[in-house]
Amino acid sequence: MKINGTDISLRFIHSNGLRMRIADHGEGPLILMLHGWPESWYSWRHQLKAISDAGYHVVAPDMRGYGKTDKPANVDDYDMKHLAADIAGIVDAMEEESAVLIGHDWGSIVTWNSMLLYPEKVTALAALSVPYSGRAEHSPLDAMRSRYQDNFHYILYFQEWNVAEREFDADPRGILTSLYISPDTPREEPKIKDPKRSAGGWIPRRGVPKQRPNWLTEEDLDFYVKEFTESGFRGGINYYRNWHRNWEITPELSGVQITAPVIFLAGEKDMVIGGATVEQLEKRMKPIAPNLQQVTLIPEIGHWVQQESPEEVNKLLVDFLASLKLNK
């Protein structure tokens, strides 16, 4: 597939019992880039060439349940043990001993946990958007239910079987258009303002954007819409359905540190970090990742950081990779 004038190879590999589609480009030390929800390998379209040009073999898979990768039917097959094993399996399929992981959103969550569960397979990691401060003392899902009770929250909404996917599958363009926005994207008034879950689903709560953000072309949006029209949304939503299970099945990760080199970057206005400063994020992550080398917040940028600000993200990533001296 040609991206910005560059031919990117799309092919299939087998990992952890799955047939996975990957985009790959370049030669050199292995770099795995893991996308989040609701995205695909295409979310890294601006990074594939830039990082491979710096001397690396870059691989961006469609994660389990997405795009052209297999979509197991069992919800438990989307827990963190399976997701981390998928990443270890990609390293093996590439016939490498280890890789540097770069993850965004859910991909970031998977990178943190892959480092913990398969430390021998991961040389270093760059986490985008989602920080990590260690395994919680109590179930995060229970805490969320206690906080929101009968009010709407998308993660709690996703716990309901076949409800969110039915809404999104009926209108892929509607949900994706409402999510792929910048912090300053103007929107119509939402049709649902009642905070109670009983008032309805998610799309009418978000407000229709009045325009596309400048980082998302019509061609980009069409690609995502086509992917989710064909694949459906259930696979990605099943990641959220393991929110409690992931905590339940990983007691061995309590207090375990990540000793490999780590950087974190996000948009300053990313809703995930909730307005946290660099200093606050460092304080959260340093106890669990003592080799945290850098925290960067890009001004005026939102959640889709590698798409919203590709040049700055590319420079940060290439500089980090160079610091690891993988080519020597």
Helices (H), ranges, 140-242: 140-148, 154-157, 164-170, 172-179, 203-206, 218-231, 234-240
Residue type, 178: S
Question: 112 with 129: CB under 8 angstroms?
Answer: no
Say how many C-beta atoms besides its own lie within 10 A of residue 3's C-beta: 15
Question: 304 with 269: CB under 8 angstroms?
Answer: no
Nearest one of 94, 124, 98, 102 to 33, comparing CA atoms: 102
Distance of CA 148 to the CA centre of its chain: 24
Question: 225 with 172: CB under 8 angstroms?
Answer: yes
Which position among 70, 77, 86, 105 bears the catalytic label? Answer: 105
Which position among 25, 46, 104, 303 bears the catalytic label? Answer: 303
Helices first, then strands: H and E counts in the chain? 14, 10
Q: Which two tokens stand for residue 208?
A: 């229709």
Distance, CA of 114 to CA of 111 (rounded, Å): 5
For the question of residue 244 being annotated catalytic, the response is no
List residues bridging with 9 in a β-sheet.
Answer: 24
Distance, CA of 292 to CA of 282 (rounded, Å): 8
**Reduced to 3 states, what is the DSSP secondary structure of residue 306?**
helix
For the question of residue 35 being annotated catalytic, the response is no
Q: Which phi and psi angles does 233 have, rounded to 5°?
A: -100, -5
Which residue reads 């889709």 in tokens? 304
Terminal C-alpha separation, the chain: 31
Q: Which two tokens stand for residue 51?
A: 């990082």
Catalytic positions, please? 105, 303
